[in-house]
Amino acid sequence: MADLTVRDVTLAAPCRAKADTCRIIVPVTALLPQPAAALARTAAAAGDLVELRLDALADQSPAGLAWAVQTVRRAIGETPLLVTLRTLGEGGAADLDPAAYTAALRALCAGAGADIDLLDVEFSAGADACARLRAAAHEAGAGVVFSAHDFRTTPDTGAMTALLTAMADAGADVAKLAVTPADPADAARLLQATAQAAALRPETPLLTMAMGPLGAVTRVCGAAFGVCASFGTAGAASAPGQPDAAALRAALSALAACRGGR
């Protein structure tokens, strides 16, 4: 892998990541497609990419999910769109087992794949499901974010590094890991694991964060450790600890200035 460019936005590989290349992803959650579209317009103005959280929608049918994606795409124009269907086990609202989850995302790729720039695929779905969803997304012209979320703990540093490298080896266009720190040391270990994964797989863009107040620092300084993007809000947050997008952009700019963009 290497830098991933979606429309006109580049997600930098770790070997080229720095503070002034860190992109801002703004999440959108709503019960209905039209309110989601209105929120997405605001999100597109505030960030570099928009994330549509499909698990927040009232209509979870294949047609309903596809319509929501298409409606948001029309609202945001050429802003890159990350589409996520987050399951209960990974902190979302979609009550789906791996088979149903895989079927839902395959149907989405078939019904609205042309409107998706990046598709979030939960790595816990299993190797076979991830491979099939990666193939379906790529066939539709979308990149794949393999993701993992721990809303209870921060795993061992080596385990986090191994998970990120496993995602890269499985063909992730972006490897994402979110954890929950119990203390500042946990947040530091997340950054250490990110740096280790960046060194081991320098051509796969990484997206990591420690959630909640204790992990807020990782959302700002992650780019210094190889992270390609960070989540910021323009309204409601989709996970604990997401900062306001404007404040995040100012912090990233200050970090870039202090480090000479490196």
d(CA 74, CA 115): 9
**What pLDDT score was predicted for residue 239?**
65
Residue 74: is it exposed, middle or buried by C-beta count within 10 angstroms (0-12/13-18/19+)? exposed
The tokens describing 83, both together, are 């589409």
Q: What is the pLDDT of residue 261?
A: 45
Beta-strand runs (E) in 29-72: 49-53
**pLDDT in the model for residue 237:** 65
pLDDT of residue 256: 81
What is the pLDDT, as a whole number, of residue 73? 98
Residue 181 scores a pLDDT above 50: yes
Report pLDDT digits (tens) over 23-53. Answer: 999 999 999 999 999 999 999 999 999 999 9
**Interaxial angle between packed helices 245-258 and 33-46, expressed in degrees from 0 to 180 and rounded to the nearest 10:** 20
Could you tell me if 178 and 190 are in contact, meaning their C-beta atoms sit under 8 angstroms apart? Answer: no
Alpha helices in 82-177 (DSSP H): 98-112, 127-140, 157-169
Q: How far is Cα 248 from Cα 24, in angstroms, rounded to an integer?
A: 8
- Beta-bridge mates of residue 188: none
Q: Is 60 exceeded by the pLDDT of residue 126?
A: yes
pLDDT at 139: 97
pLDDT band at 259 (very low <50, low <70, confident <90, very high): low
Query: Alpha-carbon dihedral of residues 64, 87, 202, 243, nearest 10 degrees?
Result: 90
Structure tokens at 168: 């890269």
Which carries the bigger pLDDT value, residue 18 or residue 158?
158
pLDDT at 17 over 90: no
176 assigned to active site: yes
Express each pLDDT in 194-234 by its tens digit. 999 999 999 999 999 999 999 999 999 999 999 999 999 98
Q: Kindly report the CA angle at 35 between 250 and 115, in degrees rounded to 5? A: 80
Domains with residue ranges and CATH for the chain: 4-257 (3.20.20.70)
Query: Among residues 149, 201, 219, 249, which one is catalytic?
Result: 149
Quick one: average pLDDT of 107-113? 97
The residue from 53, 86, 134, 176 that is catalytic is 176
Lowest mean pLDDT among 6-10, 18-22, 140-144, 173-177: 18-22
Q: Distance (Å, rounded) from C-alpha 23 to C-alpha 108?
A: 25
The whole-chain average pLDDT of the chain stands at 94
The pLDDT of residue 1: 56
**138 classed as catalytic:** no
Say if residue 262's pLDDT is above 90.
Answer: no
pLDDT in tens, 128-161: 999 999 999 999 999 999 999 999 999 999 999 9
How far apart, in Å, are the Cα atoms of 124 and each of 35, 99, 220?
31, 12, 27
